[in-house]
Amino acid sequence: MTAATAAPLPYRVAERRHETPDTVTIRLEPRGPHLPAFAPGQFAMLYAFGVGEVPVSVSGILTGGALQHTVRRVGAVSRALWASEVGTEVGVRGPFGTTWGLADAQRGDLVVVAGGIGLAPLRPLIRAVRQEPGRYGRLNVLVGARTPDDVIYRSELQEWDVRFRGVCVDRPTPGWRGRIGVVTSLLDEALFRPADTTAFVCGPEVMMRATARELADRGVPARRIQISLERNMRCATAHCGHCQLGPLLLCRDGPVVAYDRAAPLLAVREL
């Protein structure tokens, strides 16, 4: 166990931006020595002093050790983090977990499929690919949400040229001009050569199962379909066992797991 994983370091909330009524993105800047560099797909343990600690995926990797986290208010800790005003001190541990493995995806096409706040851990990956477009083939970003009001990173979706072609919602509101339905329906719009494609999928588990199966049926190799799994992570150091999924401890062996490894585990009900 390293110092970075044992005790939280103090970070300051430097910016707070609303994404949806119940979701904010906060920028955290170190108040002294900062944690080792994070990679796309990894997560941090965020500590709201006096409340507790929760795992939150990194949604932005910035210069000088600064990080971005997109937080939805759900439980007591996430509510405290969601409500943190600029200047609030937050404890941060990490980095933890496996990465999206972009190095293995070079020169091939990429399919990024996100459901709801699942776009948050995929955002650093999309940014990394856009910074070095010559290393990769075609980038497809497909986003699903419950309603138009639940879509996060709206301005960036336009920069990524996603717009309405790559976004669908379950329940439209008046004026919605995009697709309606499940996110897998957007695969018909994507441009990729299945045998030479790497897919990155994050969202509700039922959505990830359906998306991974659809991609595999279209010819994307199961080992090249990467999904981000979520379980109850407490220690983040593979000691407490709360995040166990079959033989995996997701804080150590995940959250990013290849579909060929995850498929038999996800097929077991209540595992």
| Domain coordinates in residue numbering, the chain | 3-96, 102-266
- Residue 9 and residue 122: Cα distance in Å, rounded? 25
**Does the domain spanning 3-96 belong to CATH 2.40.30.10?**
yes
The pLDDT value recorded for residue 266 is 85
Q: 31 and 10 in contact (C-beta within 8 Å)?
A: yes
User: 3-96 and 102-266 share one CATH topology?
Assistant: no
Beta bridge partners of 93: 45
Task: Look at residue 55 in the predicted model and tell me its pLDDT.
Answer: 96
- Among 1.10.10.10, 1.20.960.40, 3.40.50.12160, 3.40.50.80, name the CATH number for the domain at 102-266: 3.40.50.80
Distance CA 50, CA 88 (A): 13
Kindly list the averaged pLDDT for each block of 10 residues, start to end, along the chain of length 271.
Answer: 72 97 97 94 96 97 97 96 97 97 90 96 96 91 94 89 77 90 92 96 95 97 95 87 90 95 85 69
